[in-house]
């Protein structure tokens, strides 16, 4: 029998009544044997996610030496979930031990991981499944990367003997033997790791939307749902801000050609979005698959005559940036010019000043200029490379919306075109692009 791995996100775990939906979904298909869960998310607008509560607990622990009453809100949340589920489960003892261990470990990663841990303990009980702690089966190397070979074997060994298993997402064990977390939203990665380990037929990612949308619904009313998308397209869109799925969750399943399906916990009958490897992907005929973007980038514009003939020029510039621990998103260039596009949150005034001075000293540019408050917008689609006039349509639509393009960068795959505009023009630009290709 083929096996499906299901990951349920924060809203899907928000309270006991929602977890009953999780049980109904997994009971509905006997192939849904292995479940990965996040910490409980918001129950309503203005509510606080459990993970955010736990980060506050760690701050309290660091500043005062104990949790004090900061853990009370976490305790109340999980006690309420158990009550809503009507479970015969000694949650008080589990919470007491969790609180003691948080104070003993005194680690931000460990504290943050307890939302997933407690969520998985309760869900396993509700589903009548085995609880498998991620701390025992997911391992990181000394450099912080996933120890894939060891992890896949440990996960498979642990769950293969279970009729059904529930694992907490978001964390594993570091090379130092202590709990280590993935980046925020990393439960998506955990689900993909489990799917790869058991060679699942499909990785179902259950959230609060019926699939991947072609555009941000906060900008465009009722954007179209994407029925089918490739791994490459998804990674481009996820990286640029379309946050239904963590962009790094693609890597474990891609190597095994395991498809991902985005499904809605609250509307399980909806078709969702299928995410496929290139070998199994057939475009549906759309020129553009989706549009996504981010605000708040800084551009360092550099100009120097005969830059192209100066050996090592780009390397010297990048070394100046790397020396300050800053990563570069894009490097559009011309024969005598280049631009470094950097997320503004990485740049303090002192870092930006130091980078600028180091660039001046190392390459002696004719001109260096800083452009702030830039938004990047990516238009993505496999059909773009084979469709004549796509760029013209894109730029004409932006011009018709009276938006000035500050920067253009096209990927070598010809699957995406990225434009830089002022932050103030971000929403207007996305709306114009969406209207051109989808309406």
369 CB neighbour count, 10 Å cutoff:
12
Distance (Å, whole) CA 73 – CA 318 = 46
CATH 3.40.1160.10 fits 4-280, yes or no: yes
The DSSP letter of residue 167 is E
pLDDT exceeds cutoff 70 at 412:
no
Percentage of the chain beyond pLDDT 90 is 75
Give the rounded distance of the alpha carbon of 216 from its chain centre. 15
Q: Which CATH superfamily is domain 290-438 in?
A: VC0802-like (3.30.2130.10)
The DSSP letter of residue 1 is -
pLDDT exceeds cutoff 70 at 1:
no
Q: Where are the domain boundaries for CATH 3.30.2130.10 in the chain?
A: 290-438
The DSSP letter of residue 246 is -
**β-strand partners of 180:** 172
User: What does the pLDDT average to over 122-132?
Assistant: 97
Distance (Å, whole) CA 68 – CA 70 = 6
Q: Residues 132-156: pLDDT tens digits?
A: 999 999 999 999 999 999 999 999 9
Distance (Å, whole) CA 349 – CA 316 = 21
Q: Residues 308-361: pLDDT tens digits?
A: 889 999 999 999 999 999 999 889 888 899 999 999 999 998 999 999 999 999
Distance (Å, whole) CA 34 – CA 278 = 26
Contacts 24+ apart (CB under 8 A), 249-255: 249/188, 249/189, 249/191, 249/192, 249/205, 250/192, 250/275, 251/192, 252/146, 252/148, 252/189, 252/192, 252/193, 252/195, 252/196, 253/192, 253/195, 253/196, 253/203, 255/196
51 CB neighbour count, 10 Å cutoff:
25
Helix count and strand count (H, E) for the chain: 13, 17
Q: Which of 135-144, 280-289, 342-351, 400-409 has the lowest mean pLDDT?
A: 280-289
User: What does the pLDDT average to over 112-132?
Assistant: 97
Distance (Å, whole) CA 10 – CA 187 = 9
**Distance between first and last Cα of the chain:** 43
Distance (Å, whole) CA 247 – CA 389 = 29
3-state secondary structure 287-308: CCCEEEEEEEEEEEEEECCCHH
Distance (Å, whole) CA 294 – CA 432 = 16
Q: Residues 190-241: pLDDT tens digits?
A: 999 999 999 999 999 998 888 888 999 999 999 999 998 888 888 888 777 7
- pLDDT of res. 209: 85
For the stretch 402-411, what's the b/e string if a residue is b when 16 or more beta carbons lie within 10 angstroms of its beta carbon? ebebbbebeb
Helical residues (DSSP H) of 86-168, grouped into ranges: 91-105, 108-127, 148-159
Q: Is 413 exposed, middle or buried (0-12, 13-18, 19+ CB in 10 A)?
A: exposed
Radius of gyration of the CA atoms of the chain, in A: 24
Residues sharing a CB contact under 8 Å with residue 361, sequence separation 6 or more, in sequence order: none
Q: Where are the domain boundaries for CATH 3.40.1160.10 in the chain?
A: 4-280
User: What does the pLDDT average to over 53-77?
Assistant: 95
CB 429 within 8 A of CB 248: no
- pLDDT of res. 278: 73
**Tokens (6 digits) for 16:** 């006991």
Phi, psi of 118 (to 5 degrees): -65, -40
Residues sharing a CB contact under 8 Å with residue 169, sequence separation 6 or more, in sequence order: 7, 36, 37, 38, 116, 134, 186, 187, 188, 189, 190, 191
Mean pLDDT of the chain: 92
pTM summary value: 0.84
Residue 400 to residues 38, 169, 391, 392, 393, Cα–Cα distance (Å): 43, 46, 14, 12, 10
pLDDT exceeds cutoff 90 at 85:
yes
CB 425 within 8 A of CB 403: yes
- pLDDT of res. 411: 67
Comparing CA positions, the residue from 182, 177, 170 lying closest to residue 118 is 170
- pLDDT of res. 238: 79
The DSSP letter of residue 46 is T
pLDDT exceeds cutoff 90 at 415:
no
**Tokens (6 digits) for 170:** 């978001």
pLDDT exceeds cutoff 70 at 366:
yes
User: What does the pLDDT average to over 427-432?
Assistant: 97
Helices 108-127 & 72-85 angle (0-180, nearest 10)? 10
- pLDDT of res. 61: 96
């Amino acid at each position: 029998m083929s096996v499906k791995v299901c990951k349920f996100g924060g809203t899907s775990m928000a309270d006991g009544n929602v977890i009953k939906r999780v049980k109904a979904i997994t009971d509905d298909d006997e192939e849904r044997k292995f479940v990965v869960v996040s910490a409980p998310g918001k129950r309503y607008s203005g509510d606080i996610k459990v993970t955010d509560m736990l980060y506050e607990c760690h701050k309290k622990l660091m500043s005062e030496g104990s949790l004090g009453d900061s853990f009370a809100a976490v305790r109340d949340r999980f006690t309420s979930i158990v009550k809503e589920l009507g479970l015969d489960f000694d949650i008080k003892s589990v919470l007491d031990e969790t609180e003691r261990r948080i104070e003993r470990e005194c680690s931000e990663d460990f504290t943050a991981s307890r939302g997933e841990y407690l969520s998985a303990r309760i869900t396993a009980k509700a589903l009548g499944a085995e609880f498998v702690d991620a701390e025992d089966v997911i391992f990181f190397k000394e450099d912080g990367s996933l120890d894939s070979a060891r992890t896949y074997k440990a996960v498979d060994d642990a769950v293969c003997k279970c009729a059904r298993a529930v694992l907490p997402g978001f964390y594993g064990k570091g090379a130092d033997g202590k709990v280590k977390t993935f980046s925020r939203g990393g439960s998506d990665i955990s689900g993909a790791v489990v799917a790869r380990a058991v060679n699942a037929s499909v990785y179902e990612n259950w959230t609060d939307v019926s699939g991947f949308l072609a555009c941000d619904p906060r900008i465009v009313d009722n954007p179209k749902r994407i029925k089918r998308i490739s791994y490459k397209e998804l990674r481009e869109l996820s990286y640029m801000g379309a946050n239904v799925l963590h962009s790094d969750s693609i890597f474990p399943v891609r190597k095994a050609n395991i498809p991902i399906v985005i499904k809605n916990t609250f509307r399980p009958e909806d078709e969702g979005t299928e995410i496929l490897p290139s070998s199994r992907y057939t475009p549906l005929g759309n020129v553009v698959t989706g549009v996504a973007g981010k605000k708040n980038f800084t551009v360092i514009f550099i100009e120097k005559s005969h830059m192209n003939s100066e050996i090592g020029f780009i390397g010297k510039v990048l070394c100046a940036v790397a020396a300050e621990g800053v990563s570069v998103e894009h490097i559009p260039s011309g024969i005598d010019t280049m631009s470094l596009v950097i997320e503004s949150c990485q740049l303090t005034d002192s870092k930006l000043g130091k980078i600028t001075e180091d660039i001046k000293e190392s390459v002696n540019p004719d001109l260096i200029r800083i452009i702030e408050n830039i938004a990047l917008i990516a238009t993505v689609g496999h059909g773009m490379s084979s469709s004549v006039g796509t760029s013209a349509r894109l730029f004409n639509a932006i011009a018709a919306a009276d938006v000035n393009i500050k920067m253009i960068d096209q990927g070598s795959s010809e699957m995406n075109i990225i434009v830089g505009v002022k932050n103030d023009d971000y929403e207007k630009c996305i709306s114009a692009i969406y209207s051109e290709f989808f309406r």
